[in-house]
Structure 1
Amino acid sequence: MSESALDRTARALDLVPYLLEHQGISIPELAAVFGTSEKQINDDLILIHMCGLPGYTPLELIEMYYEDGYVTVSDPQSLKKPRNMNRAEMTSLLVSLDLLKSTRSDAISEEIEALKLKLKGALAIENPFVVVNNSKGSQLIEGIESAIAHGKALKITYLSGSKDESTERLILPLELYQENEFAYVSAWCQSSEADRTFRLDRVVNLEVVENGAITKKLTNESLKDELASIELNVSKSARTFIEDNRGVIADVVDGGDFRVRLHPIDADWLSRTILGYGSEIEVVEPRELSDDIKARAKAIRALYPKS
């Protein structure tokens, strides 16, 4: 479905202040950020380049450079600040923040409340949005996040979605995420000896177990143990790796590319994840992780006929 002129105008108004904060960003990365094609971004940049203040001489036009595939803005004219959100956008954010706060009871809930107050002030509304508080869900999320951050295993009691029964599972949680109205945890399941996904509203009980309780986390014979010291070089175009895996990230240093240190984490999962990013993520250490990824890449390449 083709987009409206209003949608394109809104994106153009958002592009200039975003570019001011991300000078030198590549066109493919810019297209990914704004959820459109590279061709559309190029068309938008051409359009913006011809816009400016009344007079429309070179002195009043927005000045930018993008011919080499990287975009910089030297004169944004009057578009230095992001546009204000409309009422629908602010309402959507308020409802989302209310839902997020209902699952949290830790320090981040104070930051969420501060954001809500700012949005309510901008909306000038009296009645707050209400989401039923789920204290049990909040405790589960906190426990799982803590386990991910510290590389701890968990014992959970899990209700089957297809059978009227519950089972005890020993898991190593890797990632928390939300899909539609449900929250999920992706984990290595010792009981099944495989990767599994568990829906949080079916977790009846959760407790942390001692290190070493999970004796086999990997199907790959070359990496038997959890990696303890992990350092990666993540390119700007792969920043989604950082955003999607904050639970396992110990430190991030922005120096052109991102230098990322991870908490101890399942090696098999990490190898598969890095492979998905291709050359955008480089393993600095440990050497065995780098060797494992190279071996996997060669094995995958060998599956394809030589041209």
Structure 2
Amino acid sequence: MSPVSTRLVRLLNMVPYLKANPQITYEEAAADLGVTRKQLQQDLDQLWMCGLPGYGPGDLIDFEFSDDTINVTFTAGVDAPLRLTSPEATGLLVALRALVDIPGVVDPAAARSAIAKIESAAGTIAHDQTHAAAAVEEQAPIESEAAAAVRTAVRGGRALSIEYYSASRDMLSTRIVDPIRVVLVGDHSYLEAWSREAESVRLFRFDRIVEAGVLDEPSAPPAPAVQAGPDTSLFDADPALPAATLLVAPTASWMLEYYPMRVREELPAGYCEAAMTYASDEWMSRLVLGFGPDVRVLGPESLVARVREAATAALAAYADLDG
């Protein structure tokens, strides 16, 4: 499970947990949830911005903090069983059907079963047993044997032999890899795995894995490779594309999950140094300027100069307006 998915599951469970344990201390809650006190505080700050449509006072999840204890004063319904509205069910169905069509992201049969159950619960199909059973048994999208083998290896923690087509070299190669996870980048699924041949992490696009065989040995990628999170070196491989080095403040850390970035160094006070590939100086400077003081460009120097010039011009324009 990705770090984003792990945190989402924890956030969804945190409100009912805190509701069931009123006046619990930070230390007790952090220990029960398996996180640090710092992470617990970040999760509470995130939950404080979540709630019901309207998102104003009285709509958002609320807490009371007293003598190092936490108490939920308004749950916004998060502690109650989920009841989907018709638009919500429709959106979920559309998303599930889209995921089914992307090889390797989900088990097609399991997704089709979930779709049938949501349809039945939402009343969009007949509620008699015959139609419900027929919907569950509806033919799942055809998945290639290679994609199914990759997903099986990832789920079972087994090593994998793959025959992979490299578009840049226009050739097939056979490799033994230790799967780490499946990641979705843009419209394509990738197997992130430790390549024994290259002795480093590689991303293998699903539709370029021609054949795959699950081996009778466990997947054993080095611990640092697993802990580092999804590797984006695939997007740094084109020498025509520069990479910006950014200093990211804690208040902008969400961008690490939103943009294809690679953390190079964790710094004090929650700051980090990260690398991000970009194709246009103009686009990258606009992106950075939009973050204000929360993101600073450290390199390359050409981008630093461009951002500095754009910021100076913007300040001069404001000065002219004041004059």
The TM-score range, normalised by the shorter chain, is 0.3 to 0.5
Query: Normalized against structure 2, the TM-score is what?
Result: 0.44
Query: Normalized against structure 1, the TM-score is what?
Result: 0.46
